[in-house]
Structure 1
Amino acid sequence: MKFKKITIKKINQNYLINLIAKNNKISSGRKNYKQHYERILKNVLLSKLFAKKIIPFKGVLKIKNNQDKMSLKYKYK
């Protein structure tokens, strides 16, 4: 069994926070934006994993979320 890691760099999203702060009438997509962004990054990591045709063992995926990157650690044969 081997462990491997896939990492994706987060893009700075401060421009959106500044835009919302300046224009209070913007309400679409404002709620839970950070959670949506993290969910999208998780989906991208999983897509990269399955694009390589690697099917990891059940329950062995670990997602580590840092401030500047998100990584997925998995175990496979």
Structure 2
Amino acid sequence: MTDLPSAGRFEGREHILPVRVYYEDTDFTGLVYHANYVRYFERGRSDFLRLAGVGHADLLAGETPLAFVITALDLQFLKAARIDDA
């Protein structure tokens, strides 16, 4: 048993990162606020790299610091996530 948060897992070439929707993620109707989906994607990207053995801090601390930059984002909402969804 560990107290460390999970970085998810790989299933073949796919990264699976289970998340739960908390009250703070939602608007007054209990639906996830639209901008928070981007936060989930960013957590997924960071944990994908972590699970692959690449840490953001290590990338920045190198002789030639590296970072990832989002230059465009196109989202299509299919179904709203609700409070307590997993």
- Length-normalised TM-score, structure 2: 0.38
Structure with the bigger percentage of strand: 1
Structure with the bigger percentage of helix: 1
Structure number with the bigger relative contact order (C-alpha 8 A, sep ≥ 6) is: 1
- Length-normalised TM-score, structure 1: 0.42
